[in-house]
Structure formats: C-alpha cells, structure tokens
Structure 1
C-alpha cells in the first residue's frame, strides 16, 4: 500500500500548490506552457532519483510580481534569473556562494524576504479588503491551532474565496493569454529594472534552494542529505528558462511533504505529473475565475512572519556577524534580496579593507 501513501502525500502538495498557481494567473502568467516545467522536472527527478520536486512558490511569484510592471518584464526577470541560476548550478558554485557570504548573511536575506511577504500580504488586504482580511484571519487562526501549512492555505483560500463569491459576487475575467491552451512567444526585454529583478530572483533562489532543498532532504530521514543542490538548481533553471519564453509561470524549489512518503522520489514525480495534468486540462483556469488573488494573502502572511522570518532571523542574529546580517535583513525587507545581499557583502568585505567595520 506504499503507492497509496505516496499518492496522498502528492495530493497534499498539489493542494498546497493550486492557490499559488492561481496567484500566478493573477499576475498574468500563462498556465498551459507551465505544465512543461512540471513534466521536465519529473523526468529529471526520475532519471537521477532526486527527492526534491519543483512547484509554484509564493515567494518567487510575489517578488516577480513586485519587481515586474507587466508580463513581459516579469517573464524577462524569470529568464534572466534562470540564466544566472543555470550558470551557478552547472559550475557548482551554489554552496561556494554561501561559504563566502556566510550563513548569517544568507539567513538575514531570507528573513528579510519573510518581512517582504508579510508586507505584500497586507497590501493585498488593503486593495481587496474583504477577501484579504478574511484570508489573513482564517490563516492565522488555522495555523495557531494546527501549525500545518497545508491546512492553513486550504482553509484560508477556500474561506476567503467563498466570502468574495457569495458576498461580493466575485468572478474574475482572466486575460485570454492566461487561459489559452496554446503557446504564445513572449519576447524578452532588457532594462535596468529587469536586470535588478533577475539578480534579486537569483538571490532569492540561492537561499531557497539551499534551505528548502535541504529541509526537503531532511524529511526523508536519509543521511547524508540526499538532495544534490547543483542538480536541483540546474533543473529549476532549465524549467523556468523554457516556459518564461512562452509567458509561463516560474516553478521553484519548495518544502515538499512528498519527501516523507515511503517512496519520496515516486511521490514527488506523482505530484508534478498531477499538477501538469491539471494545467493541461485547464482545470486551474476554471477554478481561478472564482478565487481572488488576495485569497492567498493569509498564507503569504503566515509564511512570512511565522515560518520564514523566525528561524532565519534567529540564525542571522547569532555570533559575530549579527550586525551585518541584521542590516542585510532590513535592506532586503525594504528594497529587494539583491540589494540585501549586496549590502551584506560590502559590509563584510569592503569596509574592513578600508579600515572600517560594523
């Protein structure tokens, strides 16, 4: 009966990814071409026996939506970020970057991302008051009771959506390119905001791939950790590179409950293939008409303030590098991850050369 347990774990992660897929639609990303990211990643995991799957990730979607003003800029940011991550993955420099910057600075950046997600959630609640505040209230209540992110996202998204549909008679009209079951080439554009966005997305993914990837590996109970970070980074970069040119949404590393299944590789592949089928059949687009983008505000808020921020802030503020890490945290929260890591690197390496320090 292992296959049934694997399937249930896969379905749980699919339920976690659906609201974030809806968030991707609200940002204008095309859903149909995104299925190939899931198919590609499932094939790679099958060939190499990787336990770390890819899926929609709220953090990368929120960051891309914040830094890109329209679909063309957002897909260009994803393309640029994926090229950077592919170079990092192929050359095996992911862990070297962390070794150079130090765990404190990396954790400070991730903690800043937690605050940034909470700010985005509150902005959503201000713009769509009923949906956003209902979502936040439900998410906070469910998480305090269960400490379970899957229940938190399911209850808050469904509850907020029902409130919007029955009280405000909400029904979203999605753009044709979002729901079209065909391929539409999206020509990349280059500008300083796009470059900065690509660097920011790459910085976020460096931290997420290491932290989320290794956490997923730990959930298997295998020692040493079975996750190959360079393979994971290369897979994620290639998956995003292809779909970004077709207007598709990014798929990134997640903390996946499939790793705790009896057959973690099989469960992860099941999850990605189920998600690919949902996108191919157009079910997500049909569901998305009745789910406001602000319905995910509660999950973003809890993810930011209760999951990402506390653990990373605790790591960042330990030891001799805590001041630099704290500045990295604040700059990331106020500006973006690239500015945060850049400020941390300057404070750690450049100022001492000038005889200065913090």
Structure 2
C-alpha cells in the first residue's frame, strides 16, 4: 500500500508538469533540453537530501517568456542561473529578503500572480471555448477539493481542467493543435533514439544576448526565484514536516537551468509538490524528476503537445496565479507592519511585468518611506 501511494504521488506530479511544459513550448522553449534540467535537479536532491523537487513552473515560464527573442531569453536565464548559484553558495537568500523587507517580496509575488492570471486570460481570448471550459472546471474542482478536504487539490484541479477541456477540443470539436502555431524556436524532431544524429540536432547551443532587456529579465527571474524558493519551498517542506534547505535549493535550481538554457530549453523551478506527502518524500521527488527528464529527452511530452491545446491550461493558471499566488501574498502584504512598500512593489511588478523593478522600488520605499512619513 505504501508503494502504491508513493507511485500515485509521483504520477500525479508528473501529470502536473505536462501542461506547464506545453506552456513552455508555446512560449518558445525547447522541451528535449529541458530534460537535462530535471536530471540535474534529481542529482542535486540526491546529493543534498533536499525533499523539495523542482519542475516546470508557470510563473517562471511566463515571466521569462515575456522576452520574445530566443537569445535574449537565454541571456536572461544565464544571468539568473549564475547569480543564483553565487547567492546560494554565499547563503544570501534570506539576507536579500531581510534587506528588501517581507512586504516587498510578498508584493512582488502578488504582482507575478497578476501577470500569470493575465496569461490565462490571453490564452482564453485566443481559444474562448477551450479556455472557458478549463477555467470553470478548474474553479469547481478546486472548490470541491478544498471544501471536502481532498488532498492534493492542486494536482486534481490541473488534471480535471486540462483533461476535460482537452477532451472537448479533441472529441467534440474534433480538432488538433496546429503545430505551425508553435514558435519556430521550440520546434523539435520526433527522433527519440539518442544514438542517432537527428536526436542531437535539437541540442544546438544558442548564443546568448546580454542587452538591457536580457539583464532586466535575468534580474527579474532572480527575484522571482527567491520568492518562489521561500514560499513554495517552505510549503512543500512543511507538508513533510521538515524545514526547507533554501540555499541548497537555490543552488540546485540555478545549476539545473544552465544546460537547459544554453540549448533553448525552459527554466524549471521550485514547486508545491504532492511528493512531499508521499511515503519516502525525498526519494519520491527524485523519482519524479527522473521520470520527467526521461519523458522529455525521449520526446514523449513533446508529442503530447499536438493533442493539448494551450488554452486547456488557462484554468490552473488562474488557480495558481490568482488564488495561490496573488491572494495569499496580498494577505501577507496587508498583515505586514510596512504594507505600503508591498503594495507599491505589487503595482510596479504588474505594470512593468518585471519582478526586479518591483522589488527595487518596493525596497526603496521600505528603506526611505519612514523619512517621508509614508510608512
């Protein structure tokens, strides 16, 4: 029975990753190179004993996907990765939060929640029927799970909303995803045999561009990573009754993104993971990452992309963006002794679509507001 529970937790979290990886492909990221990030994440958790796994995270994908040019995205991800490794090794994660102020970090995360929700609405505008079914079923499933005390509510929300909206798209509308709509940067061959040259043709190093957009994008991702590691990492660890290893987590997800980014793959990030509730949570997280890495490298998840419309993920984007990111962090801002800094960080992040600018402005208000009677 313990093994079946272990296996179910791993499978559900893998299913959770599939639609988010489809979002990554829709944003222009390659999927096969992303498999490398999962393997490094698994090795990192094995080496450090961290029970918090990393996987595709809609917030990070959406924020980095704002940069439309592939070489700018690569530059931003490399900046974020290198800085994250240095930050984690120097034990600087908590120091930055102390300097910026908890209200500022919460405000930034709430702003990212707004960005994520807007992505869901944009997807729904493009595919109204599919997006509407996804959003309605996601909200209903989330409410039922919460009111009935059903565990792993987020995973069930994702599964139900994506499956039902996709079934309507495939069986009732009798449509298939037009692969021509996938950005050229994200297109890959279906070759899965790694001993064939065609397989490795998808692993071409993309020359990064370090212009102003890339630098600001990289700094934005760093701020989001810090917030995600603290919030999502703490939630996942608490499910297992443990304390998150924040600095190790920062190093692991930063190292994981390096090879993925160089080949045009997507970033992966700390997640709220059901593996923490499984028997042997440490090993469950490692196995989950190994399975995802294998499915990506063999092209299985890429092939599923033709059957999963982008709008099918609108529902869980609303749940994650608004209900799980915006509202809790807004409550954190209002409960803080210096809420003004958080409110300004929220507004600036949402308006500029850049978490770094939001944190900088919020920090300035936090440090200087008392001088002008603002806080």
> TM bucket by the smaller chain?
over 0.9
Residue 201 of structure 1 aligns to a residue whose secondary structure is: helix
2 CA distance for matches of 1:131 and 1:73? Answer: 31
CA contact (8 A) 2:101 2:366 kept: no
Q: Equivalences for 1:296-307 in 2 at 5 Å?
A: 296-307=313-324
1:277 aligns with 2:294: yes
The residue aligned with 1:134 is 133
2 CA distance for matches of 1:322 and 1:58? Answer: 27
2 CA distance for matches of 1:320 and 1:46? Answer: 39
1:163 aligns with 2:183: no
The residue aligned with 1:317 is 334
Query: Which of 296, 303, 309 lines up with 1:286 in the alignment?
Result: 303
The residue aligned with 2:70 is 71
Deviations 1:200-245 (A, max 9, x none): 11111110011111111111123xx1x2111110011011011100
CA contact (8 A) 1:240 1:251 kept: yes
Deviations 1:134-171 (A, max 9, x none): 21122112112223111111111122222333416232
Question: Which 5+ residue runs of structure 1 have no aligned equivalent?
Answer: none
Deviations 1:299-320 (A, max 9, x none): 1111112111222111111243
The residue aligned with 1:179 is 188
In the TM superposition, what is the alpha-carbon distance from 1:78 to its structure 2 partner?
A: 1.4
The residue aligned with 2:150 is none
Taking structure 1 as reference, are residues 176 and 86 closer, same or farther at Cα in structure 2, changes over 3 Å only?
A: closer
Structure 1 residues 94-103 or 156-165, which shifts more?
A: 156-165
Deviations 1:239-277 (A, max 9, x none): 101110011111111111111112011101110111111
CA contact (8 A) 1:109 1:329 kept: yes
* Count of paired positions: 353
CA contact (8 A) 1:130 1:163 kept: no
CA contact (8 A) 1:56 1:250 kept: yes
Question: Which 5+ residue runs of structure 2 have no aligned equivalent?
Answer: 147-152, 190-198
The RMSD of aligned alpha carbons is 1.7
CA contact (8 A) 2:28 2:65 kept: no
In the TM superposition, what is the alpha-carbon distance from 1:192 to its structure 2 partner?
A: 0.9
2 CA distance for matches of 1:87 and 1:49? Answer: 20
CA contact (8 A) 2:102 2:336 kept: no
Structure 1 residues 171-180 or 259-268, which shifts more?
A: 171-180
1 CA distance for matches of 2:175 and 2:4? Answer: 38
2 CA distance for matches of 1:33 and 1:178? Answer: 12
2 CA distance for matches of 1:132 and 1:15? Answer: 19
Deviations 1:78-109 (A, max 9, x none): 11211221121111100111112222111111
Residue 335 of structure 2 aligns to a residue whose secondary structure is: coil
Structure 1 residues 74-83 or 87-96, which shifts more?
A: 74-83
What TM-score do the two structures reach when normalised by structure 2? Answer: 0.90
CA contact (8 A) 1:6 1:266 kept: no
